[in-house]
Amino acid sequence: MTVGVTAFQGAVEEHLVAVERALHHLGREGRAVPLRKTLGDVDALIVPGGESTTISALMQKTGMWREILDRAEELPVMGTCAGCILLATEVVDDQVPTLGLMDMAVERNAFGRQNQSFQCMLEVAGFSDPVPGIFIRAPLIRRVGRDCQVLAAMDQGMVMARCRNKLALVFHPELTEDVRIHQYFLNMVED
């Protein structure tokens, strides 16, 4: 299994390490590769955080945007923070171009500015113990469609959702030592 991580912005190295560790914990063969121009032969894709308008522009400039849309049906994709925004069909009060791969509406920077970042433990559906979530200028999922399942929420709103083979998180699991979210995604790829 080859998991690509878009390498335009965000915690790319941390996602690569988390995927490698998750593969090891699951006892699976595979590798994680950074992607700067094309998707190549990846079996799954992770779109990290960063600035959603910049990532969107770079994906379009390199042609990766079109490749993702062409493979949208079969390609499992996980988006964290800005990656979550790019997966959505709608961005509340903003004009960010999105891939529109998940029927959901998100609100950018819903938790405020950089200095309002925080960490908390999250109850995630199907997980026996809480998962650490790091929120950095995080969006919120405001609405999900019928085909989407909410996997985690807080008082402020939804923070993790799944639609078929797409997984959206408003937080950063790659910045923690806990690789269960990445394991969950790898299991989605295998299903």
Which residue range(s) make up the domain with 110? 2-190
Residues 171, 138: contact at Cβ < 8 Å?
A: yes
Phi-psi region of 100 (alpha: psi -120 to 50; beta: other; left: phi over 0): left
Give the separation between CA 186 and CA 191, rounded to whole angstroms.
9
What domain count does the chain have?
1
pLDDT at 114: 74
Quick: pLDDT tens for 54-65.
Answer: 999 999 999 999
Residues 183, 175: contact at Cβ < 8 Å?
A: no
pLDDT at 17: 97
pLDDT less than 70: residues of the chain: none
Please list the active-site residues. Answer: 81, 172, 174
pTM of the full structure: 0.95
pLDDT at 173: 97
Distances (CA, A) of 183 to 77, 127, 186: 13, 11, 5
Report the CATH number at residue 156. 3.40.50.880
pLDDT at 164: 96
Give the separation between CA 169 and CA 145, rounded to whole angstroms.
16
Q: What is the dihedral of CA 44, 15, 170, 117, to 10 degrees?
A: -170
